[in-house]
Amino acid sequence: MSDETIRFPNAPAKHGFHVVKEKINIFTDVSRPDVVEGIEDDQKVVYISIGPGETRVNVLDDEGRSLSSWTAVFGWSSLCDIEIRHGGDSLCMATLPMITKALRSSLRLYGQDVDTADFIGSARGHLHGALSHIIDQTIGDAREYDRIILAAPVWLHEVLKKCVEIRPHIDPVIQEL
């Protein structure tokens, strides 16, 4: 593991969360995950799922079975590290309910609405940069694949919308995990 800082190429510095202090480890998987439904005949598909602590990249056959896969030690729980300012204090999103409310701009603390616009911008940049890096390191430019499918919890879909621009053939509809 390198101790160099990874600068995510598309995460704006103004959001203050465009670097990772440690490398995102990516491992080649030897286990085969469940079959993914809805793959058309003769399609080469990549299925990327974003969980709380890991992002899995699976190259699927036309029956939805994994041909090869990787697991990156990166997940949506990294959003807990993004700080916001409220009432002169610096806070992190400590719980899943706090994250989901912040992403919907409905977070209230101490009886007051919290402006989460900067948090949302930071989350978008952070996820876009991390997914770009993970895709680059696993499937590269992905030109030999017909389609890339992103899957994540439904509350994360809005923030991930810009991530469909990472490669031109990422399906614009993010699947629910």
Q: Tell me how many domains the chain contains.
A: 1
pLDDT of residue 1: 36
> What's 51's domain CATH number?
3.30.420.40
What is the Cα–Cα distance from 145 to 151, expressed in whole angstroms? 17
pTM above 0.85, yes or no: no
- Domain enclosing residue 166, as ranges: 20-176
- Kindly state whether residue 15 falls inside one of the protein's structural domains: no
- Kindly state whether residue 111 falls inside one of the protein's structural domains: yes
- Kindly state whether residue 72 falls inside one of the protein's structural domains: yes
Task: Give pLDDT tens digits for 106-130.
Answer: 999 889 899 999 999 999 999 999 9
Q: Which three-class secondary structure state does DSSP give residue 116?
A: coil
- Kindly state whether residue 6 falls inside one of the protein's structural domains: no
Task: Give pLDDT tens digits for 148-168.
Answer: 999 999 999 999 999 999 999
Q: Which three-class secondary structure state does DSSP give residue 29?
A: coil
What is the Cα–Cα distance from 10 to 167, expressed in whole angstroms? 13
Buried b vs exposed e over 68-102: b needs ≥16 C-beta within 10 Å? ebbbbebbbebbeebebebeeeebebeeeebbbbb
